Structure 1
Amino acid sequence: MLAPAFSARPSRQHAPRPRLLVLMLAAALALAACNGNDGYDDSITTLPTEPAGVGSADTAPVPTTLAYVDNGASNQRNNPCQVTLETNAGVRVLQGFLDVWTPSSLKVDAGVTLAAANGCPAVTASPWTGIPGDATDGTVKNAAIHAANINYVKTVTQARTPAQALAAYLDDRRQKGYSVSDGMGPLTSVWRAGTGQTTTIAAVDANQPVTPAVNDAGNNLGVGSASNARLGLAVDFIGNIADGSTEPAKRFYKYARPWRWSSDVKVVPALESAKSSTPTTDGGFPSGHTAEAWRNTLAMAYLVPQRYQELVARAMEMGENRILAGMHSPLDVMGGRVQATAVVAYSLNSAAYYTPTVKAAAFAQAQNYLIGQAGVADAVALNSYAHTAKTTDTAATDYDRFADTAAWRKAYLQRLTYGLGTTGAAGQPATVPKGAEVLLETRLPYLSADQRRVVLKTTALDSGLPLGNDGEGWGRLNLFAAADGYAAFNGDVSVTMDAAQGGFSARDSWRNDIGGKGRLTKLGSGMLRLSGANTYSGGTVLAAGTLAADSNAAFGTGDVFVKGGTLEVASPGTLAVGGGYTQTAGSLSLVLNANDGGRLKLAGALTVAGGDLKLSFAGVTPKVGDTLTVIKGSQRKGRFASVSVAGFSKVTVIYLDDGVQVRLDGV
């Protein structure tokens, strides 16, 4: 039985005289049976206006600093010239590390002057003077951050489990493209089959020495389009991401690996033979393995945005495994992430690497191949398939260890900074790097480039955290959060989704907790679902398509105005609307479930000047005779053009002075 929600306030507040009680009750019942309300005047004299919001859209201006997407070509491996902040974009994008560490190349008083030669400018610098066993070639600037960085590695390597040791070993020795492709989850097998990815490293006892070090002779990314009609264009797409070498940055920053800093760092035994004995060519910052993992997964996520968050979480896991291996520190892997993110954006914005035609062809091939292999109808169905567990066997290829989105969101956020502390002031406005919006191009295709920039701004990390001070904003990007849409409406947001475009343009969900003073306007034929604990106050306007509430605070604290489309309420409890609710057209669809879910409770008035009310049920079984209070507010004006209830052909709508009830009369 579905119990009535809320207590219904009588239509009149004055108690009747006793001798008139019977007559008045009879009249009330008669009015209720014909959608009456005991004489309450529900005429609408003045229609509420649409929510005003703040009156303008938010923006994310391009920073004035030198942009990586314009200068990425300067990051060249083994460049004979002395590496400097001014001459190398791959070094410059990591300049936030200088808040923690001063490399010897910046010690002018200890340097030597190199004359201009071979096309290289004259510079003052010093070579790396480290020898085997030497931990440093520079000076610690922030002792607390540095200590926390190395202590983290000590702690996790000393507490490492056999399973973690194996994962760390595999991520070290396997080729990176193959290793991270398991971020595809249920699509892993078909992806590897379609690309032709292979590995020759299956397993090892990671807690036993392996001499000499084993190298993977498999096929890292797969087979390209010259001989692969299945996913050859996708393989080419991933392989053509700019190398973005970490070698110049390692040469510039000269920061040692953690096992050189402390003997308390325990390298995985099976990786002891893989350790380098030459510090001058083996810097720890930034992590090359991590950078390669990020370059590969961001390219994969562009082609398969259905697994966007899982793939970036897999790249983050690669970084964690480098720490668990004892080979890198948190700052090392954070540096790899920051640099690789800039490299991918540089590549995707560069016509030398990717024209719009090349990007579109690779994307279409990946989507069509996976849709066909999954046996589903379209990209929307592929999204569901890509998040449906195929197995509970944790050792199986298609096991999805990234299925717990909430847990991975938390892990991802922690690994963005590793809780190392702060290097600067918090609360500074976020900047979004030039061209970074391309990273969300296929994940949020229905937003404009400017809107995607604002998404990146509203989901960015706070200022003052390690590596966040790079001059552009690469170190503050949180791509996992950005894939869940806006985190704040600091301006008014209009979203136009065209269902005919398919994929996320047809159906998407925003799961962030959205704040701000702006207004959300939903346009177009597609469906947008909101599931955050939202507090935005500018109001919500639905003009077309479907806007759905999947949380109890989906629509924030402002008014809701429906003038077309379908407003669906599928909240787990009563949906709290912080203002009033007005409907002039379209449909209000309430999916009633346990715990009073799917009902509306308004802080303001209910005004209905047209449109329909549709009730359905999920997880509950109502019966004939039940009276359901489905909407309650401070007052009510107007009536729905029609009311229908799934499974019941006979219903009575009872319009109260402060809400709406529906009595189920027959099936």
Structure 2
Amino acid sequence: MMNHQLLKGIMLCSATFAITSAASLIRTNTSQASALTNTELQKVLAPKKASYGYYINQYKSNTSTDVTPQDNAATALFNNSFSKYWDPASNGTKLNAKILNENQQKSVTISQNQTAAESLRSYLSDRRDSSYNEIPALGPFANAFVRDADAKTNFTAFPSKPWPATAKDDPSSGVIWASDNSKLGSMVRLVNLTASQTYSSSGNPKKYFKYVRPFRQGPGINMNKYLVAVFNATPATDYDFPSGHTTQAFETALIMGYTLPQRFSQEVTRASEVGYDRVLVGRHSPLAVMGGRVLGTAVAAAVLNDSSNSALIKKAYSNAQTVLANKPDKNAADDYNNYQTNLKNYDARMTYGFETIDSKKTPMSVPKGAEILLKTRFPYLNVTQRREILYTTGFKAGYPINDDTEGWGRLNLVKADGGFGKLLTNTTINMKESSKPYSKNDIWRNNVGGQGSLTKAGNGTLSLEGTNTFSGTTIKGGTLIASNTHALGSGKLNLTGGTSKLGTGKVKVQGNYAQNAKANLNPDLKSKCNKFKLYK
């Protein structure tokens, strides 16, 4: 047994040893910026009020009778973005011809460069009900959902010949995507309440913007050959911005992800893929699907924040956890289960390769009520901590569509699924074992920086997979697994209770190390690394 009053700058590797010490820790890096106080953090995270107020309070103003930005919050959501590129008055005027011309060219390029698999997937996304499109992202729970929600679609493959011009543009309208009288009825009802109402619709802002679909703007769009006649037969008043399928995909995905948070990032990734499918199939432009992401995210948050929906929300969550969560099919296909791949694809679809057109220095803003989207994903965090995750994982400023006043466009919900991007303040998390997913076990996959420190309390288990640089770690209870050499940050490691596990070959502690008799250091005995190094 080794007994040190203070260990400084150590490298921990797998070995059978224990360290006991009641020594206090010494600050070794006084030049580091101070962590924010709670008051300072609240100021940073305070929401910004838009011209319409806050979307979660005004979402029902999205009606078919009032479509102007003065009366309709869904239209006004784009006051700081699309309304600066396009003026619908007098048959439309390009206020930013460069960005709109680039938008059209991207529509052409994307539609002309698709694989056979993408062609089929985008065809199915077009033909199926928009909510049904989110079922594949359930992965191992998808088959159980189809069965227990009585989910249906008539489309599983290409037809034998192209659809005629007389075919319905919305063939899924006569098919109920899932039954609200099924075993998963509460979950289905909450999806429908979010994604199938007048206030959910992109059709109302479309009526205001009157922005023509890309296949009508000029040559070059490679429309899916099975749908050319259907597309051409749609009326000229069937507009592009914002995309309805994408809006509904995000509305559905965020409810699916709320009720079954085990699939949160997968659902959001699939929603962004549905948007990409709309460009592939020749139906929408990149700016239109980016707008659908913004609107769908805001609507989902608004519905979840509405107190009149609280009883149904509670039932839907219980419904999903009781009926679905215990029925994973380990042999089912899961195309969305790689976090890094999801993050890469989602990031690409946040911008579609557009360059920045606005200030890159605009601070991130977290919309009022947006943190509710992470409530079930991080049940052990409080409201402020969930807002901090959204703030520190937010996307860079300056890109088209994304810089709305409140900040809906810059929310990077896939990255948020991986935990904090930074610890802005000294942060204590209390993971208590319960029946809620992620209360017992969770993984933070992001590289976590910031001037704050992390204190792990409660009897749950947290694994840190990122290359972290936050200012230090204290373990008071439960288990903290260091799954990266730099998982424990750039500061001290203090074990006052619980267990620290080394889930990788070696783990660096950049600052001081102290451990009392009630704490445990549990190395990975399977590792080939068997050295313990002390650095002075």
TM superposition score normalised by structure 2: 0.89
Structure 1 residues 349 and 44 mapped into 2: Cα distance closer, same or farther (>3 Å)? Answer: closer
2:337 is aligned, of 394, 400, 403, to: 403
Aligned partners of 2:448, 2:298: CA distance in 1, in Å?
27
Structure 1 residue 350 corresponds to structure 2 residue 331:
no
The answer as to whether partners of 2:477 and 2:499 remain within 8 angstroms in 1 is yes
1:71 is aligned, of 50, 55, 58, to: 58
Letter in 1 for 2:389: V
- State the Cα deviation string for residues 330-388 of structure 1 (Å, max 9, x = none): 11100001001001111111123x11x322221111111124434xxxxxxxxxx7xx5
- State the Cα deviation string for residues 510-531 of structure 1 (Å, max 9, x = none): 1011111110111111111110
Structure 1 residue 328 corresponds to structure 2 residue 315:
no
2:508 is aligned, of 539, 564, 576, to: 576
SS at 1:95 equivalent:
coil
Structure 1 residue 552 corresponds to structure 2 residue 485:
yes
The answer as to whether partners of 1:169 and 1:325 remain within 8 angstroms in 2 is yes
Equivalence for 2:110: 156
Aligned partners of 2:222, 2:76: CA distance in 1, in Å?
32
SS at 1:434 equivalent:
coil
The answer as to whether partners of 2:48 and 2:367 remain within 8 angstroms in 1 is yes
Aligned partners of 1:417, 1:300: CA distance in 2, in Å?
24
Structure 1 residue 561 corresponds to structure 2 residue 494:
yes
Letter in 2 for 1:154: V
2:414 is aligned, of 466, 476, 480, to: 480
Structure 1 residue 91 corresponds to structure 2 residue 75:
yes
Structure 1 residues 164 and 56 mapped into 2: Cα distance closer, same or farther (>3 Å)? Answer: same
Q: How does 1:209-608 map to 2 (within 5 A)?
A: 210-213=164-167, 215-216=171-172, 219-224=175-180, 227-228=181-182, 230-241=183-194, 243=197, 244-275=200-231, 281-352=237-308, 354-355=309-310, 357-374=311-328, 388=330, 390=331, 398-536=332-470, 538-571=471-504, 573-584=505-516, 585-594=518-527, 596=529
Letter in 2 for 1:265: I
Q: Tell me how far 1:69 sits from its aligned partner.
A: 0.5
The answer as to whether partners of 1:485 and 1:511 remain within 8 angstroms in 2 is yes
Aligned partners of 1:433, 1:427: CA distance in 2, in Å?
18
Q: Tell me how far 1:221 sits from its aligned partner.
A: 3.7
Larger Rg: 1
Equivalence for 1:61: 46
Letter in 1 for 2:512: G
Structure 1 residue 47 corresponds to structure 2 residue 32:
no
Aligned partners of 2:352, 2:281: CA distance in 1, in Å?
16
SS at 2:172 equivalent:
coil
Structure 1 residues 581 and 219 mapped into 2: Cα distance closer, same or farther (>3 Å)? Answer: farther
The answer as to whether partners of 1:162 and 1:206 remain within 8 angstroms in 2 is no
Give the gaps of 5 or more residues in structure 2.
1-16
RMSD: 2.3
Aligned partners of 1:347, 1:69: CA distance in 2, in Å?
8
Aligned partners of 2:224, 2:272: CA distance in 1, in Å?
19
SS at 1:373 equivalent:
coil
The answer as to whether partners of 2:22 and 2:514 remain within 8 angstroms in 1 is no
Report the more deviating stretch, 330-339 or 58-67: 58-67
Q: Tell me how far 1:594 sits from its aligned partner.
A: 4.5
Q: Tell me how far 1:99 sits from its aligned partner.
A: 6.5
The structure, 1 or 2, with the larger RCO (C-alpha pairs under 8 Å, 6+ apart) is 2
Equivalence for 2:88: 104
Using the aligned pairs only, state the percent identity: 33
- State the Cα deviation string for residues 270-291 of structure 1 (Å, max 9, x = none): 1112215566521111000111
Give the gaps of 5 or more residues in structure 1.
1-34, 36-41, 106-125, 130-136, 375-384, 391-397, 597-627, 636-667
Structure 1 residues 326 and 43 mapped into 2: Cα distance closer, same or farther (>3 Å)? Answer: closer
The answer as to whether partners of 2:351 and 2:399 remain within 8 angstroms in 1 is yes
Aligned partners of 1:483, 1:408: CA distance in 2, in Å?
11
Equivalence for 2:9: none
Equivalence for 1:117: none
Aligned partners of 1:203, 1:44: CA distance in 2, in Å?
66
The answer as to whether partners of 2:430 and 2:458 remain within 8 angstroms in 1 is yes
- State the Cα deviation string for residues 191-218 of structure 1 (Å, max 9, x = none): 1111111111221159855554351367
TM superposition score normalised by structure 1: 0.72
Aligned partners of 2:26, 2:176: CA distance in 1, in Å?
59
Q: Tell me how far 1:467 sits from its aligned partner.
A: 1.3
Equivalence for 1:377: none
SS at 1:591 equivalent:
coil
Aligned partners of 1:461, 1:371: CA distance in 2, in Å?
31
The answer as to whether partners of 1:297 and 1:312 remain within 8 angstroms in 2 is yes
SS at 1:176 equivalent:
coil
- Give runs of ≥4 in structure 1 deviating > 6 Å: 42-45, 50-53
- State the Cα deviation string for residues 176-198 of structure 1 (Å, max 9, x = none): 12222111111111011111111
- State the Cα deviation string for residues 85-108 of structure 1 (Å, max 9, x = none): 221100111223336522233xxx
Aligned partners of 2:160, 2:475: CA distance in 1, in Å?
56
Aligned partners of 1:567, 1:517: CA distance in 2, in Å?
22
